[in-house]
């Protein structure tokens, strides 16, 4: 089809309104330019439909009449009637060409963002990039990084990577990013940092990555080593905070390191002892930002303020990532960060749609144990994660499930670091089939191919629910989640049912019609979980009371006391 045919098709049924001559003249000229652009090889608008859509969106309705005329002649006449001199016309054409090109580029970017459900907020936001090749060309990614991405099996960027990476690879912005669980946020911040730091420099820490748990810190370290393979960065994880270990640290001794990954309390400990220099930090990443900014008991809030102050480099930029964000994070970024760009994927604070979710009424504590045993009987498909509300309950359930002939372990804050590391390793290697855990493991942990998450104890908040079930259905895989509830759990039932509905699941109407509980009640529940009967199948008369001073919950031991469910994990 030649250009005049396309023109006819494009403007079919339209005529130009002569009362607005200048505008029409521009339209005609811009059409000519659009034709040029359309014919450029590799142009996003090189196909006819796209140009047509663009025209429809750009030319005001009132300028298009419906009676059929010979529009091509009309448009060409308009061009002939131009009274300006040739150079003037050429200049105008060039200006218009630039404008149209910009418009087309903006339109293309908007389409891309819509396609991947990306929302952005800020100024001078770079365009998202759909392939790693394009990213490598546009932002000068060294070959090693591109190769490492391939070795990791990352063929194309995930939506958060498409937009967050260009923001961080640019020169000036800080970033607040929100994307579903399992959507590749870790690589989204690691790749730009690796590119930015270029190579090892022995100047001391130039990037600091904070996260809420040691397990997550270790996982980020692993991912960072994979993605920076061959670049020889010195990565460091603070493993302990005792005085003895502290003796290993000093700003001089840590100069050889480039990237520090840690929980905030360990960094703070070393800062207090003047053993850590963060003045060279160019990138401060706060992973699971809403967790780290959470207020209340055991909050990291004050520690974060101290760390941010210690990162005193005026060029320092901050990137905050999480699958859920709270207003506290928004407020902090507004008050503390310049040139901030916000990026989110999909609806904020929603559950991943790759997990099939179910709510199961189990009547009582005994009902929960029966329900778990039913799942085992039906044919358990490991790996499975089971969430409970406290360390004691993790031990109790472990003691029960040991008798069911499955490879089961429990992980919580009372296990030693070595035990925790070896359990996580065993679970990753498939030696442990069922892992019972507390809130400790709800954030960020990436176990490959979790098939099922069981919320044995109802999550303390909808945010906790989103993270817990997000351990399944990661990196494009599918997974399942079942959440047990009893009459003790109605406070959050409605909000969690709503989350399930929003992510495409089905829930009974009555759950959505439940009365919304006040913020106070919900906050109280986040701090103190409901009291629950012990997890045991022993008849009451056989349940021994633990002797005073004897620590509860040894593996396999039945515990008789009613444990007030603390959220401390």
Ligand X SMILES: Nc1ncnc2c1ncn2[C@@H]1O[C@H](COP(=O)(O)OP(=O)(O)OP(=O)(O)O)[C@@H](O)[C@H]1O
Nearer CB in complex with ligand X: 45/465: 465
The site that binds ligand X (CB under 6 A) totals a number of residues, namely 18
To ligand X, the closest distance from the beta carbon of 209 in angstroms equals 12
Minimum separation from the CB atom of position 190 to ligand X (A): 9
The Cα-based distances of 415 to 106, 421, 438, 441, 503 in angstroms read 53, 10, 12, 13, 35
Stretch that binds ligand X, among 95-103, 180-188, 417-425, 549-557 (CB under 6 A): 180-188
207 neighbors 282 (Cβ within 8 angstroms): yes
Q: Which region among 64-72, 91-99, 467-475, 535-543 touches ligand X (by CB under 6 A)?
A: 467-475
Stretch that binds ligand X, among 152-160, 398-406, 527-535, 539-547 (CB under 6 A): 152-160
Least distance between ligand X and beta carbon 80 (Å): 53
Is residue 128 a contact point for ligand X (CB under 6 A)?
A: no
Q: Which of 126, 128, 157, 473 binds ligand X (CB under 6 A)?
A: 157
Angstrom distance (rounded) from CA 536 to CA 513: 34
Q: Can residue 187 be called a binding residue for ligand X (CB under 6 A)?
A: yes
Beta strands in 323-476 (DSSP E): 340-345, 355-361, 384-387, 408-411, 434-437, 452-455
Q: How far apart are CA 201 and CA 553, in angstroms?
A: 49
Q: Which of 181, 263, 390, 495 binds ligand X (CB under 6 A)?
A: 181
Q: Decide: is 186 part of the binding site for ligand X (CB under 6 A).
A: yes
Look at residues 342, 395, 421, 386 and name the one whose alpha carbon lies nearest to residue 557: 395
Is residue 475 a contact residue for ligand X (CB under 6 A)?
yes
Residue 319 parent element (H or E)? strand 317-322
Can residue 285 be called a binding residue for ligand X (CB under 6 A)?
A: no
Report the distance separating Cα 285 and Cα 192, nearest Å.
Answer: 11
Name beta bridge partners: 535: none
C-alpha span between 381 and 404 (Å, rounded): 15
354 binds ligand X, rule: CB under 6 A: no
Both tokens assigned to 149:
């991405």
Check if the beta carbon of residue 286 is closer than 8 Å to that of residue 320: yes
Place of tokens 């480099």: 313
Check binding of 460 to ligand X (CB under 6 A).
Answer: no
Q: Among the candidate windows 166-174, 183-191, 384-392, 503-511, which touches ligand X by CB under 6 A?
A: 183-191
CA separation for the pair 225, 148 (Å, rounded)? 10
Based on the shown chain and the rule CB under 6 A, indicate whether residue 116 belongs to the binding site for ligand X. no
Shortest CB 430 distance to ligand X, Å: 16
Q: Which of 11, 29, 148, 161 binds ligand X (CB under 6 A)?
A: 161
263 binds ligand X (CB under 6 A): no
User: Under rule CB under 6 A, which residues in 308-327 are in contact with ligand X?
Assistant: 323
Sole window of 19-27, 181-189, 311-319, 485-493 interacting with ligand X (rule: CB under 6 A): 181-189
Candidates 192, 264, 346, 444; binder of ligand X (CB under 6 A) is 444
Q: Please report whether residue 350 would count as binding ligand X according to CB under 6 A.
A: no
Among 126, 159, 166, 182, binds ligand X (CB under 6 A): 182
Handedness of CA 448, 454, 456, 460 (dihedral sign): positive
> Shortest distance, CB of residue 454 to ligand X, whole angstroms?
18
Task: Kindly state whether residue 163 participates in binding ligand X, applying the rule CB under 6 A.
Answer: no
The region, left, alpha or beta by phi > 0 then psi within -120 to 50, assigned to residue 222 is: alpha
SS3 content of the chain, % helix, strand, coil (to 5): 45, 10, 40
Tell me: does residue 446 bind ligand X (CB under 6 A). yes
Q: Is 40 helix (H, G, I), strand (E, B) or coil?
A: coil
Distance, first Cα to last Cα, the chain: 68
Nearer of residues 238 and 466 to ligand X, judged by Cβ: 466
User: In this structure, are residues 169 and 195 in contact, taking their beta carbons and an 8 Å threshold?
Assistant: yes
Task: Name residue 355's beta-bridge partners.
Answer: 479
Contact stretch for ligand X (CB under 6 A) within 11-19, 151-159, 242-250, 412-420 = 151-159
Q: 10 Å Cβ neighbour count for 244?
A: 7
The residues binding ligand X (CB under 6 A) are 154, 157-158, 161, 179, 181-187, 323, 444, 446, 470, 474-475
């Amino acid at each position: 089809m030649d250009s005049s045919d396309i023109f006819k098709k494009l403007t079919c049924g339209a005529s130009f309104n002569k009362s607005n001559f200048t505008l029409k003249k521009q339209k005609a000229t811009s059409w000519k330019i659009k034709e040029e652009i359309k014919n450029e090889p590799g142009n996003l608008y090189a196909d006819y439909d796209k140009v047509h859509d663009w025209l429809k969106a750009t030319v005001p309705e009132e300028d298009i009449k419906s009676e059929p005329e010979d529009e091509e002649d009309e448009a060409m006449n308009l061009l002939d009637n131009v009274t300006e001199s040739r150079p003037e016309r050429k200049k105008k054409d060039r200006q218009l060409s630039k404008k149209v090109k910009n418009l087309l580029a903006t339109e293309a970017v908007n389409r891309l963002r819509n396609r991947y459900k990306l929302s952005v907020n800020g100024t001078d936001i770079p365009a998202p990039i759909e392939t790693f090749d394009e990213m490598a060309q546009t932002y000068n990614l060294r070959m090693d990084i591109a190769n490492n991405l391939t070795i990791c099996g990352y063929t194309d960027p995930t939506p958060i990577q498409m937009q967050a990476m260009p923001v961080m690879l640019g020169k000036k912005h800080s970033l607040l990013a929100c994307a579903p669980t399992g959507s590749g946020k870790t690589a989204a911040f690691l790749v730009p940092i690796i590119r930015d730091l270029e190579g090892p420099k022995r100047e001391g820490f130039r990037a600091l990555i904070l996260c809420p748990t040691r397990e997550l810190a270790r996982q980020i370290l692993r991912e960072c080593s994979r993605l920076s393979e061959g670049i020889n960065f010195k990565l460091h994880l603070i493993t302990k905070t005792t005085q003895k270990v502290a003796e290993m640290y000093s700003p001089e001794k840590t100069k050889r390191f480039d990237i520090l990954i840690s929980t905030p309390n360990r960094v703070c400990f070393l800062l207090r002892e003047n053993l850590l220099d963060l003045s060279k930090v160019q990138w401060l990443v706060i992973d699971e930002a809403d967790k780290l900014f959470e207020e209340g008991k055991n909050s990291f809030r004050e520690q974060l303020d101290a760390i941010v102050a210690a990162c005193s480099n005026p060029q320092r930029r901050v990137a905050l990532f999480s699958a859920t964000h709270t207003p506290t994070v928004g407020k902090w970024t507004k008050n503390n960060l310049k040139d901030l760009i916000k990026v989110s994927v999909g609806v904020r604070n929603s559950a991943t749609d790759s997990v099939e979710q179910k709510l199961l009424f189990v009547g009582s504590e005994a009902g929960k144990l029966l329900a778990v045993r039913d799942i085992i009987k039906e044919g358990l498909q490991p790996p499975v994660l089971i969430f409970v509300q406290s360390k004691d309950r993790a031990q109790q359930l472990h003691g029960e499930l040991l008798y069911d002939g499955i490879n089961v372990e429990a992980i919580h804050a009372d296990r030693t670091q070595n035990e925790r590391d070896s359990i996580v390793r065993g679970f990753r290697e498939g030696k442990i089939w069922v892992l019972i855990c507390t809130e400790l493991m709800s954030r960020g942990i990436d176990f490959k191919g979790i098939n099922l998450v069981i919320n044995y104890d109802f999550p303390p908040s909808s945010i906790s629910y989103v993270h817990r079930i997000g351990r399944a259905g990661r990196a494009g895989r599918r997974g399942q989640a079942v959440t047990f509830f009893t009459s003790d759990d109605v406070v959050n039932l409605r909000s969690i049912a709503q989350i399930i509905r929003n992510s495409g699941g089905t829930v009974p109407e009555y759950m959505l019609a439940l009365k919304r509980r006040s913020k106070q009640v919900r906050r109280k529940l986040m701090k103190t979980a409901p009291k629950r009967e012990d997890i045991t199948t022993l008849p009451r008369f056989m349940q021994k009371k633990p002797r005073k001073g004897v620590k509860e919950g040894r593996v396999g031991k039945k515990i008789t006391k009613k444990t007030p469910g603390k959220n401390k994990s």
